[in-house]
Chain A
Amino acid sequence: MTSIAIPPGMPQYDDVPRYDVARVRADFPILDREINGHPLVYLDSANTSHKPRQVLDVLGEHYALHNANVSRSVHTLGTEATEAYEGARAKVAAFISARSTDEVVFTKNSTEAINIVAYAFSNASLRPDGDPRFRLGPGDEVVISEMEHHSNIVPWQLLCERTGATLRWFPVTDQGRLDESGLEDLVTERTKIVSLVHMSNILGTVNATSRITARVREVGALLLLDCSQSVPHLPIDVVDLDADYIVFTGHKMCGPTGIGVLWGRGELLAAMPPVFGGGSMIETVTMARSTFAAPPARFEAGTPPIAEAVALGAAVDYLTGIGMRAIQWHEKELTAYALEALGSVRDLRIFGPTVPVGRGGTISFALGDVHPHDVGQVLDSLGVQVRVGHHCAKPVCSRFGVPAMTRASFYLYTTTEEIDALVAGLEQVRKVFD
């Protein structure tokens, strides 16, 4: 056997960042709860994550001590609130290695972020002087995939309806990977935008995007990555990813609900027409017409979710404090453990990659013929919280020929004992329905 020496100064194989999961769990008050007489086993973090005390405290303190509207007041509280809000933007920008803080637009969630892009395209298409990169009409194409969450399907279907453009999509392989074999035919000179999920919320697949990015650049299209499931779990660097837009949401990354992010390349955001009109997004307003603020304000009409943004900043601090590499590694180990443990359950079928490579800690499965609703109900009686249903990704369910799936998803606070509880619970399900 030849051993390959890694040069000194480079990361070594055993150089894996670790953290104390028990200490992390102590930060999350809800993890002390009992459900139906059992300790809570929360395996639904892909749906929404729990929030550590550090985030809850910031949320409460903002309202208790610094509450005021942002970007419009000269008074002290207004200044504090504005600084906190803009400070959160800077934290988020640093978290994803954005070149500029102005590339971070706060939204309500990922869904709103995708819709902003889709409607900016729509609005540009209506204007004769609209930037040609955003103008869509008959003959133009939008490319998505069969693996998308509904939030990355429906806005594009609606955009195509409004503009006469055509929607096309990448298929999914039997292994639950993106089928890139038709890339050259799918992404062509007709393509205006490719909008893909970075990590599937249902299959757990993490898509390798470099081939697609190269093709997108070759044909002069734009690339949006839905990072709702990846930003919370992996180190994300938008420069490395080389996308044009990414979207993600606060509540899946230890932050509150009601706050999400659209990141876009500065010059693209600057060229995009506004979507929502109202306060804060203007430069000047007369009764006849208005001119608009530069991004990100142009896309943040009205009073934004200020406290939520500030708390998202706290969530980013929290995750950074533990280290995204460490979180990624923890979940990789959990995923490997879970894939093996679930693989030992009789008559259990995993949808998506069955190896812990190119996938995250979200595993969907079927247990024999037992309907996922019934699986979830029995598990709930044991305190095990999983998601059941179509996971807002009905085309994936159709692709694998089932109406619904059961999904277990992990996060930084998940333990192998919780995966054991899931496996034991599945035996219980079997007892009820066999």
Chain B
Amino acid sequence: MQLDQLYQEIILDHYKHPHGRGLRDADDPGDQVAEAHHVNPTCGDEVTVRVATDGDVLHDISYDGMGCSISQASASVLHELLRGRGAGEAFQVHEAFVELMSGRGQVTPDEDVLGDGVAFAGVARYPARVKCALLPWMAFKDAAARAGVGVSPEVKA
């Protein structure tokens, strides 16, 4: 297996220079704010994702955590892709990312939808690492549901 397919420059860059890291309060006091803390019990990776939303737009997605390059870069990409998006649109991106990660490397990602998330296509070939990449996305889904947007708060990777 080619290591550089897994550790793409984009991923390493997000890992070394994370975007929007750190949990933040909502700028707008009227926003619903909720968070979810997810762990990967097999390796001890942890991430907390916090969503601030007025019910339509995800005004902020902030996060904190500790873990491997894949899980932390994934949180950074999540923040960048979904912050400021409408909830419906955000969940389409979410769905596309989950589909990519569940595809065992057989899914061709759409860069228009997934942006830097396409760099994770290689991760899907490493079953042991798929959970790392999905960790912040699953935490996001729970946090969003708790903030009143999304589908179900019970989604697990």
Interface of A: prevailing SS: helix
Residues from 1 to 16 in B contacting A, C-beta threshold 8 Å: 1, 3, 6-7, 12
**Once the chains bind, are B1 and A36 in contact (CB under 8 Å)?**
yes
Kindly state the separation between the CA atoms of A36 and B1 in the bound complex, as whole angstroms. Answer: 6
The total of interchain contacts (Cβ-Cβ below 8 angstroms) comes to 51
Hey, which chain B residues are within 8 Å of A432, CB to CB?
A: 3, 7, 12
Q: Beyond A373-B70, A403-B67, A432-B12, is A397–B7 a contact (Cβ under 8 Å)?
A: no
Hey, which chain B residues are within 8 Å of A199, CB to CB?
A: none
- In chain A, what residue has the closest Cβ to B42? A389
Q: A394 within 8 Å of B by Cβ?
A: yes
Q: A47 within 8 Å of B by Cβ?
A: no
Q: B107 within 8 Å of A by Cβ?
A: no
**Once the chains bind, are B3 and A378 in contact (CB under 8 Å)?**
yes
The minimal Cβ–Cβ distance linking A386 to chain B, given in whole angstroms, is: 13
Kindly state the separation between the CA atoms of A371 and B47 in the bound complex, as whole angstroms. Answer: 14
**Once the chains bind, are B12 and A394 in contact (CB under 8 Å)?**
no
**Once the chains bind, are B7 and A394 in contact (CB under 8 Å)?**
no
Kindly state the separation between the CA atoms of A389 and B131 in the bound complex, as whole angstroms. Answer: 14
Contact with A along B44-73 (1 / 0, CB 8 A): 111000000000000000000011111010
Q: A243 within 8 Å of B by Cβ?
A: no
Contact partner of B43 among A36, A388, A433, CB < 8 A? Answer: A388
The minimal Cβ–Cβ distance linking B40 to chain A, given in whole angstroms, is: 9
**Once the chains bind, are A373 and B3 in contact (CB under 8 Å)?**
no
**Once the chains bind, are B44 and A397 in contact (CB under 8 Å)?**
yes
Kindly state the separation between the CA atoms of A397 and B41 in the bound complex, as whole angstroms. Answer: 13
Q: Which of A378, A389, A394 has the largest number of chain B CB atoms within 10 A?
A: A389
Q: Beyond A377-B126, A432-B3, A432-B7, is A390–B68 a contact (Cβ under 8 Å)?
A: no
Contact with B along A371-404 (1 / 0, CB 8 A): 1111001100100000011100010010000011
Residues of B within 8 A of A (CB): 1, 3, 6-7, 12, 42-46, 66-70, 72, 126, 129, 132
- Residue contacts A-B, CB under 8 angstroms, 12 given: A371-B67, A371-B72, A373-B68, A374-B68, A377-B126, A377-B129, A378-B7, A390-B43, A397-B44, A403-B43, A403-B44, A404-B44
Question: Which A-B residue pairs are the 10 nearest by beta carbons?
Answer: A373-B68, A371-B68, A403-B44, A381-B3, A389-B43, A404-B44, A390-B44, A374-B69, A374-B68, A403-B66
Residues of A within 8 A of B (CB): 36, 371-374, 377-378, 381, 388-390, 394, 397, 403-404, 432-433
